[in-house]
């Protein structure tokens, strides 16, 4: 049931993000890329 609720939330959020447009997506992408770089630079990530 929790998984179903998460899917409903994602289905509701995705069109909203699409309506907000590219700037929000670009900011979100930059944030994910920054986190990805941090994780890759983290020595503990190898374990």
CB-based contact 40:33 (threshold 8 Å): no
Q: Is residue 16 predicted with pLDDT exceeding 50?
A: yes
- Nearest partner of 25 among 36, 9, 14, 39, judged by Cα: 14
- Candidates 20, 12, 10; CA nearest to 28 is 20
pTM above threshold 0.85: no
Mean pLDDT, range 24-37, rounded to an integer: 71
Higher pLDDT residue, 47 or 22?
22
Residue with structure tokens 């670009």?
A: 26
């Amino acid at each position: 049931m929790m998984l179903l609720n998460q899917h409903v939330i994602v289905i509701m959020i995705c069109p909203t993000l699409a309506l907000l447009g590219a700037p929000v997506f670009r900011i979100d992408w930059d944030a994910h890329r920054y986190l990805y770089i941090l994780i890759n630079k983290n020595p503990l990530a190898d374990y």
